[in-house]
């Protein structure tokens, strides 16, 4: 089942996630970076609107969407039920589509003059069985799995650096749950985008995924204990500079 014909938002030029770009044959030509280009109609949605669209889909459409997402490389089950993993993959794919349209608007506006791009064409282009038409970049997302002892060691290391003590059992349980939740979200997966460059060449762009250590630094630095320890550390350094210690 095709996803074409599904309304994923309202036409406009505001901020948000661009879910489609449609050429306007009779539109005025606008000055863009690549010269003069016809005005295209862009469909824009918010994340909240996309979630509502997914929730209201008929079961058959949900199954078709989940299958197309899976074929395109997004980690998701194939199901006609409302599913959190499918919902998050749908949002991730929509965000990737929006980024691709914005890239074309800036770097290849002439392409948008004669090609409609929406989620259906975008996912088809990324699936292994491409059947002609728009061949855009292929996005591969990779989920990172960490052993419990590795997560525990990272938590202990960061807390010790900020506070001078080891992590408690409660802190390990708290931050382990938060890290595992972050690691399971498709938007936090590592992403590699392969963009065709012609003559069998392609450009590879890698976006790192969620980094637990960086996240812990940000979270623990906000705690009162970490702030107090930082001030105390500065005070000790000042006394040592004066020769008091």
Q: Tell me the pLDDT tens digit for each residue of 21-51.
A: 888 765 445 554 444 444 568 889 999 999 9
Q: Do the beta carbons of residue 21 and residue 112 sit within 8 Å? A: yes
Query: What is the b/e burial string over 206-223, where b = at least 16 CB atoms within 10 angstroms of the residue's CB?
Result: eeebbebeebbeeebeee
Three-state DSSP state, 39: coil
Q: How confident is the model at residue 197 (pLDDT cuts 50, 70, 90)?
A: low
Which residue, among 212, 219, 237, 235, has the nearest Cα to 162 in the 3D structure? 219
Which residue, among 92, 57, 99, has the nearest Cα to 72 in the 3D structure? 92
Mean pLDDT of 100-121: 85
Domain boundaries defined on the chain: 10-136, 148-182+210-242
The rounded mean pLDDT for the chain is 78
Helices (H), 33-137: 47-56, 59-71, 84-107, 111-114, 119-126
pLDDT at position 199, please? 59
Q: Do the beta carbons of residue 53 and residue 97 sit within 8 Å? A: no
């Amino acid at each position: 089942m095709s996803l074409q014909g599904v309304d994923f938002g309202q036409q406009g030029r505001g901020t948000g996630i661009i879910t489609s770009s449609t050429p306007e044959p009779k539109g005025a030509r606008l000055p863009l970076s690549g010269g003069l280009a016809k005005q295209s109609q862009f469909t824009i949605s918010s994340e909240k609107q996309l979630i509502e669209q997914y929730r209201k889909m008929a079961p058959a459409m949900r199954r078709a969407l989940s299958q197309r997402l899976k074929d395109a490389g997004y980690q998701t089950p194939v199901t006609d039920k409302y599913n959190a993993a499918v919902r998050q993959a749908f949002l991730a794919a929509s965000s990737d589509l929006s980024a691709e349209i914005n890239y074309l608007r800036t770097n290849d506006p002439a392409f948008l003059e004669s090609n409609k791009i929406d989620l259906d064409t975008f996912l088809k282009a990324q699936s292994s069985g491409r059947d002609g038409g728009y061949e855009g970049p292929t996005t591969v997302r990779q989920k990172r799995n960490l052993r419990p002892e590795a997560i525990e060691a990272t938590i202990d290391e960061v807390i010790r650096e900020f506070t001078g003590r080891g992590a408690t059992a409660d802190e390990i349980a708290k931050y382990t749950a938060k890290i595992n939740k972050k690691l399971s979200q498709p938007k936090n997966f590592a992403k590699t985008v392969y963009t065709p460059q012609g003559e069998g060449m392609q450009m590879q762009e890698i976006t790192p995924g969620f980094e637990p250590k960086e996240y812990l630094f940000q979270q623990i630095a906000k705690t009162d204990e970490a702030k107090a320890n930082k001030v105390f550390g500065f005070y000790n350094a000042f006394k040592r500079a004066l020769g008091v210690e």
